[in-house]
Amino acid sequence: MINGIIIVFVGLVLGSFVNALVWRLHLLALRKAPSSPDRLTSATNSFSSLDVPSGTSPSDKTVFARADSLWERGILRKSSLQSTKHPKKPDNKKYSIVSGRSMCPDCRHQLAWYDLIPVISWLGLRGRCRYCHRPISWQYPLVEILTAVTFITSYVYWPYSWSAIGITLFIVWIVSLISFMALAVYDLRWFILPDKIVFPLVGLAAIQIIMRTVLYGEISPILGGLIGVVTLAGLFYALFQFSKGQWIGGGDVKLAVALGMLAGGAAESVLLLFLASLIGTLVSLPLLLSKKLKKNSRIPFGPLLLMATFIVYIFGSDIINWLKLYYFY
Ligand SMILES: [Zn+2]
C-alpha cells in the first residue's frame, strides 16, 4: 500500500517532468531553425489540422485562435519576437532540456515550488497561471495522471520477479515509460517522434533485453528481441518504402526498433500491431461519426503503438497464453 502511494506520487512528479521535457524539446527544435518560418507554420498547421475543420487556411487569425494553451502561445510569442525588428539572440541556455527553472511561457514569470505540484496546483489555480491568469491547458494534469496510471499499473501487474534484477528492470521500464509519454504527447501535437527521445528509448529497450537474459539465465530474450525488431521494424520499413512515407513516417520505423525489442517476440509483435489497430479504430470511429475527424485527417500512429506496447509488455504473456488455451489447443 505504502509502495503504491509512493509510486503514484513519483508518477505524478515525473508526469510533470514529461510536460516540461516536451515543451523544452519543442522550443529547442524551433530555435534550431529560428529564421525559417516554414518550421513554425508546419508545426502550427499540423496542430490545427487536429481540431480545425480542414480547408481552413491557417491564417494568423486561426493560428492565434487555436493558441489556447500555454505551449502554443509560448511558441508563437517566441517566434513572433524573432521575426520582428528586434531579432533576439536565441538564449539556448534558458531552454536546455533539463536545467533551468520552469516558467510560465506566457508572462515568463518564474514558477514557485507551489505552482509546480502536479495536478493539485492546476486544480488550486483553476487551470490558470497565478501571475498572468491566462489559462493553462488541461493536458498538463492529464499527462501527469496518465503517467501515474502507467506506473501503478506496471507495479500491480509486474510480470517479472521482485528480485534485485527484477527491481532494476522495473526502474528501467519506468524510465522507458517517461519517454513513452513524452513521445505520445509530441506525436499528438506535432506529428513528430523526435530522435532525441526515440534513440535513448532504443538504448533502454536493449538494456531491458540484457536484463531479461540475466533474469532468465538463457538467451531466449535476445532471440525474442531480435525477432521482434525484424517483425515490427521490418514491416514498418517495408510499408514506409512502399507508400513513400505516406502510410507510415520515418519516425515510426525508428520507434518500431525499440518497440520490437520491448515486445520481445514474433507473436508479441503481431499482438502489438493488432492492439494498436484496435485502439486506433475504437478511438477514431466515434470521432469520425461525430464529424470531429475528417476521413483524410492524419492520425498519429505513435501513441497507438506506445499504448499497445505498454499492454503487451505488462499483459502480453497472459494474453498469449489465454489465446493459446482457447484458440490453438
Ligand atoms: Zn503567466
Render pLDDT for 94-120 as a digit per residue (tens, 0 to 9).
Answer: 455 555 677 887 888 888 888 888 899
In the reported structure, the alpha carbon of residue 149 is separated from the centroid of ligand 1 by a whole-number distance in angstroms of 28
Residue 198 shares a structural domain with residue 108: no
In degrees, rounded to 5, the angle at the alpha carbon of residue 141 between the alpha carbons of residues 18 and 92 is: 40
Supply the DSSP symbol for 118.
T
Residue 117 shares a structural domain with residue 178: no
Assigned domain for 130 exists? no
Has residue 36 got a pLDDT over 50? no
Give residues with Cβ within 8 angstroms of 293, minimum separation 6. 284, 287, 299
- Give the residue among 148, 76, 142 at the shortest CA–CA distance from 106: 76
In the reported structure, the alpha carbon of residue 70 is separated from the centroid of ligand 1 by a whole-number distance in angstroms of 8
In the reported structure, the alpha carbon of residue 144 is separated from the centroid of ligand 1 by a whole-number distance in angstroms of 20
Residue 229 shares a structural domain with residue 307: yes
Assigned domain for 41 exists? yes
In the reported structure, the alpha carbon of residue 300 is separated from the centroid of ligand 1 by a whole-number distance in angstroms of 30
Q: What percent of the chain has pLDDT over 90?
A: 53
In the reported structure, the alpha carbon of residue 287 is separated from the centroid of ligand 1 by a whole-number distance in angstroms of 33
Rg (CA), the chain: 21
**Whole-number Å distance between alpha carbons of 222 and 43:** 39
In the reported structure, the alpha carbon of residue 59 is separated from the centroid of ligand 1 by a whole-number distance in angstroms of 25
**Whole-number Å distance between alpha carbons of 222 and 241:** 27
**Whole-number Å distance between alpha carbons of 235 and 274:** 13
pLDDT tens for residues 165-223? 999 999 999 999 999 999 999 999 999 999 999 999 999 999 999 999 998 888 999 99
Q: In this structure, are residues 183 and 306 in contact, taking their beta carbons and an 8 Å threshold? A: yes
In the reported structure, the alpha carbon of residue 110 is separated from the centroid of ligand 1 by a whole-number distance in angstroms of 9
Residue 89 shares a structural domain with residue 180: no
Residue 167 shares a structural domain with residue 316: yes
Residue 117 shares a structural domain with residue 211: no
Has residue 297 got a pLDDT over 50? yes
State the total domains in the chain: 2
In the reported structure, the alpha carbon of residue 183 is separated from the centroid of ligand 1 by a whole-number distance in angstroms of 26
In the reported structure, the alpha carbon of residue 202 is separated from the centroid of ligand 1 by a whole-number distance in angstroms of 36
In the reported structure, the alpha carbon of residue 77 is separated from the centroid of ligand 1 by a whole-number distance in angstroms of 13
**Whole-number Å distance between alpha carbons of 119 and 12:** 8
Give residues with Cβ within 8 angstroms of 254, minimum separation 6. 193, 195, 198, 199, 202
In the reported structure, the alpha carbon of residue 98 is separated from the centroid of ligand 1 by a whole-number distance in angstroms of 21
In the reported structure, the alpha carbon of residue 181 is separated from the centroid of ligand 1 by a whole-number distance in angstroms of 25
Residue 114 shares a structural domain with residue 207: no
Mark residue 92 as left, alpha or beta (left: phi above 0; alpha: psi -120 to 50; beta: remaining). alpha
**Whole-number Å distance between alpha carbons of 77 and 81:** 6
pLDDT recorded at residue 68? 35
More confident residue, 306 or 64: 306
pTM above 0.85, yes or no: no
Residue 62 shares a structural domain with residue 191: no
pLDDT recorded at residue 319? 93
Which domain-ending residue is among 96, 124, 152? Answer: 124
Helices 220-242 and 250-263 pack at an angle, to 10 degrees, of 160
SS (H, E, C) 48-82: HHHHCCCCCCCCHHHHHHHCCCHHHHHHHHHHHHH
Q: What average pLDDT does this structure show over 19-34?
A: 85
* CA-based max dimension of the chain: 73
Residue 299 shares a structural domain with residue 248: yes
Q: What is the mean pLDDT of the chain?
A: 81
In the reported structure, the alpha carbon of residue 194 is separated from the centroid of ligand 1 by a whole-number distance in angstroms of 27
Assigned domain for 144 exists? no
Question: Which residue pairs from 282-286 have beta carbons closer than 8 angstroms and sit at least 24 positions apart in sequence?
Answer: none
In the reported structure, the alpha carbon of residue 88 is separated from the centroid of ligand 1 by a whole-number distance in angstroms of 21
Question: At 38, is the pLDDT very low, low, confident or very high (cuts 50, 70, 90)?
Answer: very low
The residue segments making up the domain with residue 83 are: 2-124
In the reported structure, the alpha carbon of residue 129 is separated from the centroid of ligand 1 by a whole-number distance in angstroms of 5
In the reported structure, the alpha carbon of residue 122 is separated from the centroid of ligand 1 by a whole-number distance in angstroms of 13
In the reported structure, the alpha carbon of residue 44 is separated from the centroid of ligand 1 by a whole-number distance in angstroms of 21
In the reported structure, the alpha carbon of residue 148 is separated from the centroid of ligand 1 by a whole-number distance in angstroms of 26
In the reported structure, the alpha carbon of residue 132 is separated from the centroid of ligand 1 by a whole-number distance in angstroms of 4
